[in-house]
Amino acid sequence: MTRQIRIVDVFTEKPLAGNQLAVVLDGKDLSVRLMQRIAREMNFSETTFVLPPENPAHAARVRIFTPHSEMPFAGHPTIGTAWVLANEGLVPKGGLSSSSKRAWARSA
């Protein structure tokens, strides 16, 4: 199994500072159990998994895991994942917005 993972430092402009985050760019077809195992292996406070959107108006769906459990929402993983998606060119032009169901949508 090969997955692209980006490690980012959130809330800082300096490398090796801020809040670390692992972003798994292609979480499609990963079981919840495997996502949890990957999050435990990364051992950061959170690891996010980018999935295909459930709503075609959204760019992606995001799931957030700590080394011990899944979280419905958390600030630095949301911001860090948004930055990675934008930096990787995975979000349509026009910006980002977040929905309460962990999906990224194009802003108006």
Q: How does pLDDT run across 34-66, given as a tens digit for each residue?
A: 999 999 999 999 999 999 998 888 889 999 999
Domain ranges of the chain: 5-105
Spatial CA neighbour of 20 closest among 86, 88, 66: 66
Q: How does pLDDT run across 65-101, given as a tens digit for each residue?
A: 999 999 999 999 999 999 999 899 888 666 566 554 4
Name the H helices within the chain.
32-42, 75-87
Q: Which helix (H) or strand (E) holds 45?
A: none
> Which H, E and C letters describe 89-104, residue by residue?
CCCCCCCCEECCCCEE
70 is catalytic: no
Give the active site residue among 13, 46, 54, 88.
46
Is-contact 51 29, C-beta < 8 A?
no
- Domain 5-105 in CATH 3.10.310.10: yes
Model-level pTM greater than 0.75?
A: yes
